[in-house]
Each structure stands twice: as structure tokens, then as C-alpha cells.
């Protein structure tokens, strides 16, 4: 048998596949990073032929690929793609899938679980029953399970079947250029390294604002909500990178885990958490009547360790907000009552680092003015061209067997524990979900947590 490798996309006709996964692989193809005989198999229930599927993919690629779309290149790329119609919720259908693999002489597999978490176990069961002879890696999307119990059960099943080292928990925020850059900025600059602590920093804000609404993902999102969809994974991962100790080697697993373990357990949830739902959410397709799902969450997090004792970290995320903007804002303590220095790490859509500080106003004796240094990374064409998309970077890493940029199970457990506790308390005391207007920065009730900042320059 030839040694052919394939990635199988469970959820092959889903939003994630079209917007992120296929464009990421197109880019890898253009860069010559896919093996010659590498195949892409999209699974779905719809009655498509491979030609239909490729035609749909072509349009998405025109819109979403980082590398310039070109007919000729896409046609070459498309030779790698096959659509396979299957009901993935029916375990016995996996026998046909294995026959298909055998006919294609594929022996090395990457299975990508790009579907709602309820299907993870069934997929695993189907693969275990019919495809167990294959060598396989699994990439699994967040949220990993519906809660900690669910995640634990799922993890033990996956590990039992595939083995711990073959499971890649993807959190695409870890693949974002500016999130990676936080490490470089923090640990390679004396000017930041020495002051990255409670003596100099007053507070930190992390905002991930989205302009889009729930879109076509209502079935999944309405059961999940912003806390499980974004905070349990992306925002806590970002927070851990901003706040962790300096990694001792190329892996930051230990330091991230220690940081997550140091999150202060929440007592009075009403003092630290505000949830909201955008006006119009209940009218979106497939949202349950009277849904209490939050599309916005703002949270004050404290860290109980020597570096951060007493420094609040404010995190917020929401859909249908006034802008799409993700930033980490570090607010320094005031010196001599002068305006506070601020370091703004712009994650997306523009990427860069902005520093606000004080200087003398020219022509005056001592009068101060706030000035800035602005490094706009994405303003430079070469940077934009050379910056891989998060999914591109992570898929490439997985294909090479590099697990560094993937979430680790022990971190997932600690994050789930923290979030479960908050959600349970929020529910137990019947805390409200405030309605907020679309195109705003969320419910005004979140202002009680802090003066939120967002730099839109
Ligand atoms: C996903 C969430 O993980 O991240 C989505 O499920 C969200 O709800 C998306 O829209 C945001 O990702 P990005 O890269 O656009 O900030």
C-alpha cells in the first residue's frame, strides 16, 4: 500500500471548513507545504458531488484565502479534494467510509472534528469500530465538551482509542500572529520585562469584540453561549499568555497551567460578571424561544500569585458589537499624578503595538502632554503577505506533529473548573442577562466593572 495521507473534515460543508480550513489548506498548498499526495476529504450529509463541492469551495476561496486566488492554482489544489456523503451520526455508516479509504489507499489520517461537541463521541465510536487499523491524528475544536464532566468522559474515550499524543485540541487564538508576539514583546525587552507585575501595572483589559451575530451557527451557539464559546478557551488562553511566568524552554505548557491554577475562585459572582444578549437575538433563525443564552460576557479575573496579587484583569467579548476589534490593554500605575501609561497590543483586525506615555509639551516649562509610539505591523505590506492565518499555522504544525501551539488537556480541565463554577453561581442566584443594542459595546451594566478602553486609531 502507498503511504497516502488525508485530512478528513467532519463538518465538511460547515462554516468553519469553508471560511477557515479550506482556505488555510489552499495557502499551505500555494506555499508548497502539503505533501504531493495529500488528500482532503470533506464529509457532509448533503447530496453534493465532488464537483459541486469544489465549485462551492472555489467561491469561498476567492473571498477567504490569504494567498491570491488564481484559477490555475485552485484547479491544482482542487485535485486533492473529494466530497464524501455520509450521516456522521450513524456509527454504521463508518464502514463505508473505511471502504472509501481503502479504495484510495490512504493509510495516514488526520481527522478534524469541526462539528458540534455532541457529535464527538459518535464520531469516535464510528472510527473505533470501523477505521481502527488507520494511523491517525485527531484535531478537535473547542468547546471541548459541554462542561467539565462531559469533556472528561470524551477525553478518556479519545485517549483510549487514539492515544494522548495523537490528540490536538485546537484553540486558534494560539495561532494568531499577535498572540504569539506577546511572548516576544514580554520576554525580549528589558523595558517591559522588568515592569510586568503588580508594582507597575494597575490593570489589564482583554477585549474580543465581534461585529457579526450568531450567523448560521445557532444550533451550536444557543446551547453554548459566549462564556463557553469564547471565554473558557480563547480569552483564558490569551490571559494566561499575558500573565504567565517566563517559559523555561520552548514549551509554555507548565507556565500557562500554573497561571490558570492561580485564578482566584469566585465568590460573589454578581460583583465580577455581567452577561448580555443582543437585541434581536431571539428573532434569529433556530434560536429557542425565550433563550437565555448570553452573546456578551464581561468578567473581572484576579490572579493569586506573587506577580499579580491585587491586579484585576478585565475580559470581555460579545457579538453584534460596534466593531470587530481584539486588543490587550495594559494600564500602568500613575506616576506623580500624570496620565497613566498604556500599552495596547492590537491583535485584530489591525496588528500592532501602541504605547502611550507622557512628555513635555514643547514651549512650556513642565506642562505634560500624552504622546505615543505606534508600531503598526499590518500596515506593512510585506508583513501582511508573510503572516500566516491562525488555522494555516496550526494545521501545518499538526501535520508536522508539532503540539506546541495546541491547548493541553490539563489546562482545559482547570479552565473548565473555573468557568463551571462561575456559570453555576450565575445561574443559582438567577443573575440577569441584560439586553444590549446592536452596534454598541455591550450592556451598560458592564461599566460597573471598569472603565473599558478600546483604541480605534
Ligand atoms: C470561534 C467562535 O472559536 O471564534 C466564534 O466559536 C467566534 O463564535 C470566533 O466568532 C472568533 O474568531 P476570530 O478569529 O474571528 O476572532
Is 34 in a helix, a strand, or coil? coil
Instruction: Indicate which residue's Cα is closest to atom 2 of ligand 1.
Output: 229
Each of the 457 residues of the chain gets a pLDDT tens digit; together they read 557 899 999 999 998 999 999 999 999 999 999 999 999 999 999 999 999 999 999 999 998 888 889 999 999 999 999 999 999 999 999 999 999 999 999 989 999 999 988 899 999 999 999 998 878 999 998 888 888 898 899 899 999 999 999 999 999 999 999 999 999 999 999 999 999 999 999 999 999 999 999 998 898 899 999 999 999 999 999 999 999 999 999 999 999 999 999 999 999 999 999 999 999 999 999 999 999 999 999 999 999 999 999 999 999 999 999 999 999 999 999 999 999 999 999 999 999 999 999 999 999 998 999 999 999 999 988 888 788 889 999 999 999 999 999 999 999 999 999 999 999 999 999 999 999 999 999 999 999 999 999 876 5
State if residue 229 touches ligand 1 by the CB under 6 angstroms criterion.
Answer: yes
| H helix intervals, 69-195 | 71-78, 94-104, 120-130, 148-162, 177-187, 190-193
Distance 143 CA to ligand 1 centre (A): 11
End-to-end CA distance of the chain: 57
Q: Shortest CA distance to 6 belongs to which of 76, 94, 80, 85?
A: 80
Q: What is the number of the ligand 1 atom nearest to the C-alpha of 176?
A: 14
Indicate the burial class of 246 (C-beta count within 10 angstroms; 0-12, 13-18, 19 or more). Answer: exposed
The per-residue pLDDT for 118 is: 87
The C-alpha R_g of the chain, in whole angstroms, comes to 23
> Longest Cα pair distance anywhere in the chain, in angstroms?
82
In short, whether 392's Cβ falls inside 6 Å of ligand 1 is: no
Q: Is the CB of 389 under 6 A from ligand 1?
A: no
Q: Is 171 in the pocket of ligand 1 (CB under 6 A)?
A: no
Q: Which of left, alpha, beta for 374 (phi over 0: left; psi -120 to 50: alpha)?
A: beta
The CA distance from 120 to 132, in Å, is 16
| Residue of 234, 293, 321 to mutate, ligand 1, most atoms within 8 A of C-beta | 234
Strands (E), 293-366: 296-301, 313-318, 325-332, 342-348, 352-360
Q: 452: exposed, middle or buried (C-beta count within 10 Å: 0-12, 13-18, 19+)? A: middle
Cell matching residue 338: 500624570
> Is any ligand 1 atom within 6 A of the Cβ of residue 166?
no
Pocket probe mutation, ligand 1, options 64, 172, 173, 389, max atoms within 8 Å of Cβ? 172
Q: Give the residue among 129, 49, 44, 48 at the shortest CA–CA distance from 95.
A: 129
- Residues 443, 89: Cα–Cα separation, whole Å: 39
The grid coordinates listed for 441 are 459595546
According to DSSP, the residues that pair with 41 across neighbouring strands are 8, 82
Question: d(Cα 5, Cα 21) in Å, to the nearest integer?
Answer: 17
334 and 340 Cβ atoms separated by less than 8 Å: yes
Query: From the alpha carbon of 141, which atom of ligand 1 is closest?
Result: 3
d(CA 301, ligand 1 centre) in Å = 21
Helix axis angle, 50-64 relative to 22-30, nearest 10°? 80
Q: What is the pLDDT of residue 2?
A: 59
What's the rounded Cα separation, in Å, for the pair 348 and 268?
33
pLDDT for position 358: 97
Mark whether 426 is an active-site residue. Answer: no
Q: How far is CA 257 from CA 263, 375, 399, 409, 454, in A?
A: 10, 31, 25, 10, 28
Amino acid at each position: 500500500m502507498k503511504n497516502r495521507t488525508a485530512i478528513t473534515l467532519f463538518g465538511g460543508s460547515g462554516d468553519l471548513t469553508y471560511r477557515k480550513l479550506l482556505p488555510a489548506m489552499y495557502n499551505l498548498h500555494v506555499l508548497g507545504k502539503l505533501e504531493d499526495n495529500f488528500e482532503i476529504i470533506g464529509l457532509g450529509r448533503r447530496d453534493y458531488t465532488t464537483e459541486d463541492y469544489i465549485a462551492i469551495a472555489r467561491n469561498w476561496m476567492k473571498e477567504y484565502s490569504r494567498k491570491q486566488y488564481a484559477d490555475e492554482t485552485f484547479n491544482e489544489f482542487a485535485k486533492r479534494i473529494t466530497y464524501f456523503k455520509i450521516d456522521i451520526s450513524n456509527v454504521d455508516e463508518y464502514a463505508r467510509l473505511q471502504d472509501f479509504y481503502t479504495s484510495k489507499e490512504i493509510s495516514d489520517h488526520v481527522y478534524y472534528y469541526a462539528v458540534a461537541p455532541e457529535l464527538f463521541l459518535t464520531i469516535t465510536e464510528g472510527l473505533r469500530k470501523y477505521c481502527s487499523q488507520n494511523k491517525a491524528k485527531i484535531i478537535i475544536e473547542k468547546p471541548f465538551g459541554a462542561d467539565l464532566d462531559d469533556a472528561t468522559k470524551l477525553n478518556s474515550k479519545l485517549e483510549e482509542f487514539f492515544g494522548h499524543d495523537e490528540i490536538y485540541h485546537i484553540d486558534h487564538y494560539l495561532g494568531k500572529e499577535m498572540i504569539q508576539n506577546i511572548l516576544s514583546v514580554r520576554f525580549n525587552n528589558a523595558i517591559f520585562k522588568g515592569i510586568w507585575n503588580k508594582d507597575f501595572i494597575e490593570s489589564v483589559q482583554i477585549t474580543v469584540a465581534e461585529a457579526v451575530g450568531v450567523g448560521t451557527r445557532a444550533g451550536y451557539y444557543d446551547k453554548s453561549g459566549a462564556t463557553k464559546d469564547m471565554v473558557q478557551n480563547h480569552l483564558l488562553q490569551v490571559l494566561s499568555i499575558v500573565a504567565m511566568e517566563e517559559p523555561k524552554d520552548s514549551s509554555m505548557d507548565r507556565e500557562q497551567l500554573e497561571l490558570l491554577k492561580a485564578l482566584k475562585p469566585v465568590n460573589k459572582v454578581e460583583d465580577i460578571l455581567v452577561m448580555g444578549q443582543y437585541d434581536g437575538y431571539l428573532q434569529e433563525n433556530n434560536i429557542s424561544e425565550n433563550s437565555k443564552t448570553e452573546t456578551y460576557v464581561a468578567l473581572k479575573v484576579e490572579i493569586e500569585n506573587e506577580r499579580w496579587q491585587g491586579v484585576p484583569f478585565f475580559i470581555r467579548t460579545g457579538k453584534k458589537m460596534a466593531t470587530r476589534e481584539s486588543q490587550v490593554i495594559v494600564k500602568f500605575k500613575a506616576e506623580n499624578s500624570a496620565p497613566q501609561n498604556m500599552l495596547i497590543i492590537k491583535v485584530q483586525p489591525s496588528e500592532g503595538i501602541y504605547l502611550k506615555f507622557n512628555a513635555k509639551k514643547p514651549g512650556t516649562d513642565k506642562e505634560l502632554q500624552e504622546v505615543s509610539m505606534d508600531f503598526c505591523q499590518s500596515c506593512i505590506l510585506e508583513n501582511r503577505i508573510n503572516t500566516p492565518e491562525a488555522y494555516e499555522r496550526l494545521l501545518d504544525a499538526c501535520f508536522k506533529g508539532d503540539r506546541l501551539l495546541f491547548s493541553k488537556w490539563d489546562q482545559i480541565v482547570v479552565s473548565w473548573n473555573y468557568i463551571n463554577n462561575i456559570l453555576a453561581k450565575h445561574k443559582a442566584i438567577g443573575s440577569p442577562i441584560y439586553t444590549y443594542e446592536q452596534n454598541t459595546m455591550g450592556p451598560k451594566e458592564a461599566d460597573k466593572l471598569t472603565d473599558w478602553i478600546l483604541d480605534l486609531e
